[in-house]
Amino acid sequence: MKIFYAIQATGNGHISRAMQLYPYLQKYGTIDFFLSGNNTSLDIKLPVKYKSKGCSLHYSKCGGLDYWDIVKNIKPRQIYKDAESLPLKDYDIIINDFDSITSLACKMQNVNSVQLGHQASFISTHTPRPEKKSLMGEMILKHYAPSRKNIGLHFEKYDSFILPPIIKDEIIASEPTNLKHITVYLPSFDKDCLEKAFNSIPGIQFHWFLNTVEQTHKIGNITYFPVNQKKFNKSLITCEGIITGGGFETPSEALYLGKKVLSIPIRNHYEQECNAAALKKLGVPVVYEVGDDFNTIIENWIDLDLIYPKMQANNIPETLEYLFDTYKD
């Protein structure tokens, strides 16, 4: 069987999920990956056969999206050409993790696909949303990468087609400990937006993962790390808690390990606002604006006695069996 797998590379989560699924998918046949976007900072250990600049995210300095940069870097003519050139009819199955180019190619070539991933869960009206819904945000979630069939992943089973998050094997096999440091992964924040707050709490050790760091080094109470999956996994497994955005994969793994989570969703990023609403239902503290009191917020969060519901891990063989059966129907 020939499998085409499209990955939306607007962050590291989609790629991390694909790398976890890859050895399981190999049991079904050969896989060619399509990488759309250029926001990832991971070492991609996948057979990527096709690439496109697609639509990538651009951030403002301290925790928001830069919509002007996003729009000016979109090339509609190139996107159309990229969709037209994908040889989808050469494949037995098309798996799409929220990529608009693949969805467009399926429509142009009259080929079916199945959307597998977190964004697919938002097809359901039962999936948590913030109190103030965004009409534009809802349109993007439902129409950016449409597919005839959907298998969603989320923190809880909000609907019949929504399954638990895919957790990396290394996380599942680990024995979590608490070495009292706080892991930080906030790719939408520049270094100088948060450094002062971390420095002002010298009694707390931070492991801060940044795209701009090339070598691990320590200054004061902050150890700066490059974005590296093995180093990040180790830090997460041994941390007291993690400060991260309103994404899906990182909070899922932290909650699976029983770690404290402080979520700071990217401003004006509707999917992250939806995830934040779901995390709040699980008892996770959410911060929407980082101000001069951020150090106090961190200290209060660490002092909280937080107990979260146990996060389930996805049964990958069962999910893939369901996916291939769903595709045949």
Question: What is the distance between the alpha carbons of residues 273 and 107, in angstroms, rounded to a whole number?
Answer: 30
Which pLDDT score, from 0 to 100, does residue 40 have? 64
In a shared domain, residues 233 and 277: yes
Residue 297 is assigned to a structural domain of this protein? yes
CA 12 from centroid of its chain's CA atoms: 6
- Secondary structure string (H, E, C) spanning the chain: CEEEEEEECCCCHHHHHHHHHHHHHCCCCEEEEEEECCCCCCCCCCCEEEEECCCCCCECCECEECHHHHHHCCCHHHHHHHHHHCCHHHCCEEEEECCHHHHHHHHHHCCCCEEEECHHHHHCCCCCCCCCCCHHHHHHHHHCCCCCEEEEECCCCCCCCEECCCCCHHHHHCCCCCCCEEEEECCCECHHHHHHHHHCCCCCEEEEEECCCCCCEEECCEEEEECCHHHHHHHHHHCCEEEECCCCHHHHHHHHCCCEEEECCCECCHHHHHHHHHHHHCCCCECCCCCCCHHHHHHHHHHCCCCCCCCCCCCHHHHHHHHHHHHHC
In a shared domain, residues 134 and 187: no
The DSSP bridge pattern shows strands 114-117 and 93-97 to be parallel
In a shared domain, residues 34 and 118: yes
In a shared domain, residues 125 and 198: no
In a shared domain, residues 144 and 7: yes
Task: Find the CATH number of the domain harbouring 89.
Answer: 3.40.50
Count how many domains the chain has: 2
Residue 44 is assigned to a structural domain of this protein? yes
Residue 87 is assigned to a structural domain of this protein? yes
Which pLDDT score, from 0 to 100, does residue 216 have? 97
Residue 268 is assigned to a structural domain of this protein? yes
Cβ atoms < 10 Å from Cβ of 317 = 10
In a shared domain, residues 94 and 204: no
Residue 309 is assigned to a structural domain of this protein? no
What does residue 40 show for φ and ψ, rounded to 5 degrees? -75, 150
In a shared domain, residues 193 and 261: yes
In a shared domain, residues 196 and 244: yes
Closest CA to 251 of 131, 158, 171, 159: 171
In a shared domain, residues 17 and 102: yes
Q: How far is CA 85 from CA 212, 225, 314, in A?
A: 34, 39, 34
The string over 168-182, giving b where at least 16 C-beta atoms fall within 10 Å of a residue's C-beta and e elsewhere, is beebeebeeeeeebb
The answer for residues whose C-beta is within 8 angstroms of residue 217's C-beta and 6 or more apart is 223, 224
In a shared domain, residues 34 and 143: yes
In a shared domain, residues 187 and 289: yes
CA 116 from centroid of its chain's CA atoms: 13
Residue 238 is assigned to a structural domain of this protein? yes
Residue 319 is assigned to a structural domain of this protein? yes
pTM of the model: 0.93
Task: Find the CATH number of the domain harbouring 214.
Answer: 3.40.50.2000
Which pLDDT score, from 0 to 100, does residue 278 have? 98
Q: What is the pLDDT along the chain (329 residues), one digit of tens a residue?
A: 999 999 988 778 889 999 999 999 999 999 999 998 876 667 788 999 999 876 655 456 676 665 556 555 667 788 889 999 999 999 999 999 999 999 999 999 999 999 999 999 999 999 999 999 999 999 999 998 999 999 999 999 999 999 999 999 999 999 999 999 999 999 889 899 999 999 999 999 999 999 899 999 999 999 999 999 999 999 999 999 999 999 999 999 999 999 999 999 998 899 999 999 999 999 999 999 999 999 999 999 999 988 888 899 999 999 999 999 988 76
Residue 308 is assigned to a structural domain of this protein? no
In a shared domain, residues 49 and 142: yes
Question: What is the distance between the alpha carbons of residues 305 and 289, in angstroms, rounded to a whole number?
Answer: 23
Which structural domain, as residue segments, surrounds residue 299?
169-303
